[in-house]
Amino acid sequence: MKVTVVGAGAVGASCAEYIAMKNFCSEVVLVDIKEGFAEGKAMDLMQTASLNGFDTKITGTTGDYSKTAGSHVAVITSGIPRKPGMTREELIGINAGIVKEVTENLVKHSPEVIIIVVSNPMDTMAYLVHKTSGLPKHKIIGMGGALDSARFKYRLAEALEAPISDVDGMVIAAHSDTGMLPLLSKATRNGVPVTEFLSEDQQKYVIEETKVGGATLTKLLGTSAWYAPGAAVSVMVQAIACDQKKMIPCSLMLEGEYGQNDICLGVPAIIGANGVEQIVNVTLTAEEQLKFSEAANAVREVNGDLKF
Ligand code: NAI
């Protein structure tokens, strides 16, 4: 299994590191536009191989896509991250051009590739890849829900004073501060609804902190986070590489599911060797359905800024 990661910055390097450490891929190719940067990151990571006990071969290239030929999966992390106070949507001007060009290069050398889109505003970038790549829809997967659900579980465990492995929960809809929809009604602690343990104030706290999870880190770090984003991507790549048929919330092209059409939004899906094996229909409460529709409207507005 060969995986390409475009963008050898904070998130791209973290993706490559987690993928290599889990030892399920034969090769990871890092691509960056900055001269020597991907080669340097690849060499540094390879020098951890004997220390961390992995056999994955990591190489880097400055923009030579012929080195990515035959990739099964490609992850797009190239583009600018947000600075404190910025929204993800403000990145569209620069990132749309980068994502479009990168997609063309990837598909040219790996026509069968499955693309995981990470660059922000992610739901809109995933939509752009659908409109420009010519790939079938099951081969384009936006990464947002995997990360946002991990942040939701972190906040649930904190509020419940429980180990994270005891809690389960999922975030769907948009990967944005306002459009994220943590499904508190479905979250559980050892199978028991968390609403039985948490006061209304605690429930509100968990939801609000989850939604601004990325912004909180951007404020603390001065740029956006990379460990959890990289780990989230590695879980998705592993589900494909090992045909796990694992349920992961991802930003996918909807054609009638959840009442939406012609839009990429976060929904739970079974991820396996073919990419998206199936979209899972979870019954939403009336309030959740309304919030899902509002998130769709906001993403649609951002999509309107795209030029193909
Ligand atoms: P970074 O600035 O550390 O890395 C981005 C890299 O992309 C840089 O090394 C840059 O040289 C490279 N690049 C720019 N144009 C390129 C091109 N045309 N071809 C190849 N490489 C190119 O940024 P970071 O922190 O890694 O974030 C990357 C993106 O991921 C941002 O848009 C950020 O907002 C997004 N992100 C998305 C998350 C999600 O959950 N979907 C989570 C975290 C970040």
Number of structural domains, the chain? 2
Cα–Cα distance for residue pair 3/18, rounded to 1 Å: 12
Q: What is the CATH number for 27?
A: 3.40.50.720
- Tally: H helices and E strands in the chain: 10, 14
Whether 169 and 25 share a structural domain: no
> Is the pLDDT confidence value at 308 over 90?
no
- Output the residue whose Cα is nearest ligand 1's atom 35: 119
Whether 287 and 162 share a structural domain: yes
With H, G, I as helix, E, B as strand and everything else as coil, classify residue 145.
Answer: helix
With b for 16 or more beta-carbon neighbours within 10 A and e for fewer, the 113-148 pattern comes to bbbbbbbbbbbbbbbbbbebbebeebbbbbbbbbbb
Whether 95 and 229 share a structural domain: no
Whether 130 and 90 share a structural domain: yes
Pocket flag, ligand 1, residue 60 (CB < 6 Å): no
**Do the beta carbons of residue 90 and residue 224 sit within 8 Å?**
no
189 labeled binding residue: no
Residue 301 belongs to what domain range?
146-305
pLDDT digits (tens, 9 = 90+) for 36-55: 999 999 999 999 999 999 99
118 labeled binding residue: yes
pTM score over 0.95: yes
Positive or negative, the CA dihedral 221, 225, 228, 230 is: negative
pLDDT digits (tens, 9 = 90+) for 177-209: 999 999 999 999 999 999 999 999 999 999 999
Looking at 142, 177, 196, which one is the last position of a domain? 142
Whether 113 and 18 share a structural domain: yes
Pocket flag, ligand 1, residue 11 (CB < 6 Å): yes
Whether 85 and 165 share a structural domain: no
Whether 138 and 150 share a structural domain: no
Report CA(6)–ligand 1 centroid distance (Å). Answer: 8
Whether 218 and 294 share a structural domain: yes
Pocket flag, ligand 1, residue 83 (CB < 6 Å): no
Q: What is the CATH number for 276?
A: 3.90.110.10
Atom of ligand 1 lying closest to residue 122 CA: 41
Whether 13 and 155 share a structural domain: no
Atom of ligand 1 lying closest to residue 223 CA: 25
